[in-house]
A and B are shown apart, each in its own frame.
Chain A
Amino acid sequence: MEAHLPVLVVLGPLMAAPLAVMFANARLAWWLAFLVSIACAWFAVNLLLLVQDGGAISYELGQWPAPWGIELKVDRLNAIVLTLVSAMSAIVLPFAAASVSDEVAPDRTYLFYTCWMLCLCGLLGITVTGDAFNVFVFLEVSSLSTYVLVSLSQRREALVAAFRYLIMGTVGATFILIGIGLIYMMTGTLNMADMAERIQATSHLRPVQAGIAFILVGIAVKMALFPVHMWLPGAYTHAPMAVTAFLAATATKVAVYLLVRFTFTIFGAELIFGTMQVGMPLALLGGAAALVGSLMALSHGTDVKRVLAYSSLAQIGYMAVGIGTGMVLAFAGALLHLVNHAIMKSALFMALGAARKQGRDDTLDPLAGAGRRMPITMTCFSIAGASLVGIPLTAGFLSKWYLVVGTFERGWWALAILTIITSLMAALYMGRILERIWMHEPDAGTPTSEGSWLMWLPLVVLAVANLYFGIETEFTATVTLEAARELLGGWKP
């Protein structure tokens, strides 16, 4: 059992998905998805414990030895991402059970959960695989099911958003495919570890450098980095609430993981930051994303879901800045922010979903006075909001602190100051929403009570996680700093 953990993480959801289609029953499909997510989270935690001492687990699929066969590889970095993705799926699914009935046609609900499982399978597959072509295949498994998940919302805008996402997503994935092809052409291998060795001798060749550029641009589309982010606000705004909460926590995070994996494990910091000088442009794009995302969030004051979507754009920007600096501290901050942003943003989306489910629109006005009627939900919203701004004693503070200090250390003080300014802008747009929630009298549109426990329990879990990781920083800080040091491999700008 223990030896097969890496493949079980992928096989679980892959096997459960067709079962859900065969039984064609919404309730059964939900239980399958929930149990499979719990199982995956359990596998992932076990893997995390196994690799915690710094060792890596290699699994040969079908016992074909690497580099010829497909290798699954788990180390500290992707064990964290595996745990995050599967745990977020397990946490958001109870919320989905309570909220999808309003948003998805009843006869399609079982297909909704089927696509959810396929999406989970793809995301976990991208994370666990040690084979570059496998990345593309799993990327498309997760992307295709994501397009369907977005389009299943009954609003017609969702269809257009899903279509735009499909076009952008496919172009991005095809860019990654071209890049992998060009590098395969020169190195003759698809195994990541093998490729990492062979690419050093061929890194001066034009096809390899073009391949690297294609891969980086493709990943940038997938993680919605400015200026190739156009699919994200629409998809997040019009998708069913549960899907937005799940995607915000996982899809872009896995893309950021992919960027880290390709940049540091395969290409190496020396090649990317030294020879190809990608660090500065990446950080600048990240800074631009933070600025544009925050400005757009400020200007969309009336549509809270859209505000949160644009704020995601800014958070992705922070991660790009952290990776681009090539400093241990800022990079650790980016990794930390990857986890923190997942738990804060899905909490925010779920709280908003709960409020909307209880009879309100997701525009700013009907949220007025919601704090008095839904104290649990809105307290969780406020905690996650504080974490998003980066208030001390919440999870968001530590990651932003690392980011800012690391960027200053690199000497890019303008970017560091930009990070602080955009955080203040986050305080403005979050503050505006919180003021409506807590300071205003409930009016006729305000619902009378808290939603079902299925909706607020996952929220409480995430809010507590936000506080816990903000106060008990020892563990997360050590793990991410070690991971950052290991990935940078002693490279100094």
Chain B
Amino acid sequence: MVEQIGVFNYWIVIALMMTGLYVVISCRNMVKKIIGLNLFQGSVFILYISMGKVEGGTAPILASDFTSYSNPLPHVLILTAIVVGVATTALGLALIVRIHDRYGTVEEDAIQNLDREV
């Protein structure tokens, strides 16, 4: 039981990851797809942040009272990935705006029908 609580973060990661991926695959609405993509990426952020934790370690700031520190590297890495995620979301939403201008809808099914008519 205690071990299960210890890996609580990772259960959250799995739940979020699967929810996000499911939304991306199943939703036909483009905005919802972007929301799913964000959930999916968010789970990876938590994964990276969780793995930096060292048991009994403190924040990685040098101080004479502490000898054990958590690993700050994954946090720095994921900062980059968060920036990439924001850029992807921005680009995805910009594309959706343009698609809405040209098609008048953001539903994949409706767009497929419109393409077929031409």
Contact = CB atoms under 8 A, between A and B. Distances in A.
- Is the A/B pair a real complex? yes
B44 A159 contact: no
A163 B30 contact: yes
A170 interface: yes
Q: Which of A136, A162, A177, A184 has the most CB of B within 10 A?
A: A177
B18 interface: no
Q: Which of B17, B51, B88, B111 has the most CB of A within 10 A?
A: B88
B44 A163 contact: no
Contact of B91 (A133, A148, A185): A148
Given A137-B80, A137-B84, A181-B51, A166 B91 contact: yes
Given A166-B88, A174-B40, A181 B103 contact: no
A39 interface: no
B44 A178 contact: yes
A167 B24 contact: yes
B55 to A, nearest CB: 14
Given A167-B33, A170-B37, A147 B91 contact: yes
A171 interface: yes
A463 to B, nearest CB: 35
B65 interface: no
A181 B47 contact: yes
Given A166-B91, A167-B24, A156 B103 contact: yes
A151 B74 contact: no
Nearest to A165: B95
Contact of A163 (B51, B74, B95, B115): B95
Contacts of B77: 133, 190
Contacts, number: 68
Q: Is the interface of B mostly helix, strand, loop or mixed?
A: helix
Contacts of A151: 95, 98
A291 B115 CA distance: 27
A171 B40 contact: yes
Contacts of B30: 163
Interface string B77-118: 100110010011001100110110011000000010001000
A144 B33 contact: no
A166 B33 CA distance: 11
Contacts of A136: 81, 84
A243 B47 CA distance: 36
Given A156-B103, A166-B88, A147 B44 contact: no
Nearest to A188: B71
A441 B99 CA distance: 41
The 3 closest A-B pairs by CB, nearest first: A156-B102, A140-B84, A185-B51
Given A171-B40, A178-B17, 7 more contacts: A159-B99, A162-B95, A163-B30, A171-B24, A174-B41, A177-B81, A181-B51
20 contacts: A136-B84, A137-B80, A144-B88, A147-B95, A157-B115, A159-B98, A160-B115, A163-B99, A166-B91, A167-B24, A167-B33, A170-B88, A171-B21, A174-B44, A177-B44, A177-B81, A181-B47, A181-B51, A184-B51, A185-B51
Interface of B: 17, 21, 24, 30, 33, 37, 40-41, 44, 47-48, 51, 74, 77, 80-81, 84, 87-88, 91-92, 95-96, 98-99, 102-103, 111, 115
